[in-house]
Structure 1
């Protein structure tokens, strides 16, 4: 069975989500600030967070979506998550998603976390294209991926439905040849 690789950067460690992360996930996924542009309603209970961890473990067996805990090296505390989903193996593409506790926004953390993930997706998972879907109001998220080399492609009208509100979203992409020539 495949295992989650652990990625270590200067300030962060990305590791598999475990049951010890349930309280953090519940707090993160009930935060109005975090979910504002996430495309997801708040989770209803810690049991939902338990199911999330279990589902990512099950997906590992089938080559499905993966999501890592982002852990700050200095404190050994989880501060967010990142991963990939919407996988098309035939077309060698997927989409990434990420979130971070508000106290850690604006510090360059997410770019540092996503760099090893992108390399993993292009080299180990054989992806040719990685997408990201971002609502126009989420300027900070757009800056993160633009710094990583993603290009905005177009507007997906009323693409996200969250709490009965429809949001447009921009599609961004990064191609393998663009990433590997940069690094």
Structure 2
């Protein structure tokens, strides 16, 4: 539907703005994200932003006739580089 806007950096820019607010204004020290294994774009985005994979919950969701894992990603304020 909106594929012309994909891979232009809009999502990473938006998440960076939110992370700045989250860490600097709200003063949190850690953020986590839960992503299903089939969502490769979101996995790449988290890794691009510096998130580290902290865990995997096996066979968490069943969709399209298949079980998928859920990955847990985390980012500390001290690791946030923007």
What corresponds to 1:175 in structure 2?
76
- Equivalences, count: 82
Unaligned ranges ≥5, structure 1: 1-30, 32-100
CA offsets 1:43-81 (integer angstroms, 9 cap, x no match): xxxxxxxxxxxxxxxxxxxxxxxxxxxxxxxxxxxxxxx
Whole-Å Cα distance in 1 between the matches of residues 64 and 43 of structure 2? 22
Deviation at 1:165, TM superposition (A): 6.7
| Greater relative CO, 1 or 2 (CA 8 Å, sep 6+) | 2
What corresponds to 2:14 in structure 1?
113
Deviation at 1:164, TM superposition (A): 9.1
Q: 1:103 to 1:155 in 2, by over 3 A?
A: same
Residues 38, 68 of structure 2: 8 Å contact kept? no
The answer as to 2:44 corresponding to 1:149 is no
TM-score (norm 2): 0.80
Q: Which has the larger radius of gyration?
A: 1
What corresponds to 1:129 in structure 2?
30
TM-score (norm 1): 0.39
**C-alpha RMSD over aligned residues:** 2.3
